[in-house]
Amino acid sequence: EAGVAQSPRYKIIEKRQSVAFWCNPISGHATLYWYQQILGQGPKLLIQFQNNGVVDDSQLPKDRFSAERLKGVDSTLKIQPAKLEDSAVYLCASSEHPPGTSVYNEQFFGPGTRLTVL
Amino acid sequence: QKEVEQNSGPLSVPEGAIASLNCTYSDRGSQSFFWYRQYSGKSPELIMSIYSNGDKEDGRFTAQLNKASQYVSLLIRDSQPSDSATYLCAVTHSGGSNYKLTFGKGTLLTVNP
pLDDT at B101: 87
Between A20 and A72, name the one with better pLDDT: A20
pLDDT class for B97, splitting at 50, 70, 90?
A: low
Q: How far apart are CA B60 and CA B57, in angstroms?
A: 7
Cis ω before A8 (30° cut-off from 0) = yes
The nearest CA of chain B is from the CA of A16 a distance in Å of: 26
Of B44, B98, B104, the CB nearest to A100: B98
pLDDT, tens digit, 9 for 90 and up, residues B54-75:
999 999 999 999 999 999 999 9
% chain B with pLDDT above 90: 80
Say if residue B28's pLDDT is above 80.
yes
> Do A43 and B88 count as a contact with CB atoms less than 8 A apart?
yes
Between B2 and A58, name the one with better pLDDT: A58
The pairing of strands B71-76 and B98-103 is: unpaired
pLDDT at A98: 66
Q: Give the mean pLDDT of chain B.
A: 92
Give just the sign of the alpha carbon dihedral A25, A30, A36, A42. Answer: negative
> Do B43 and A55 count as a contact with CB atoms less than 8 A apart?
no
pLDDT at A2: 83
Tally of CB atoms within 10 A around B32: 19
Residue B77 is classified by DSSP as: S
Q: How far apart are CA A35 and CA A43, in angstroms?
A: 6
pLDDT at A96: 85
The nearest CA of chain A is from the CA of B31 a distance in Å of: 7
Say if residue B53's pLDDT is above 90.
yes
Say if residue A112's pLDDT is above 70.
yes
pLDDT, tens digit, 9 for 90 and up, residues A3-60:
999 999 999 999 999 999 999 999 989 899 999 999 999 999 999 998 888 988 999 9
The three-state secondary structure class of B7 is coil
Between B27 and B66, name the one with better pLDDT: B66
pLDDT, tens digit, 9 for 90 and up, residues A80-111:
999 999 999 999 999 987 655 666 678 999 99
Averaged pLDDT for residues B83-91: 96
pLDDT at A51: 84
> Do B44 and A109 count as a contact with CB atoms less than 8 A apart?
yes
The nearest CA of chain A is from the CA of B10 a distance in Å of: 12
Q: How far apart are CA B103 and CA A24, in angstroms?
A: 23
Averaged pLDDT for residues A57-81: 94
The three-state secondary structure class of B81 is helix
pLDDT at A70: 81
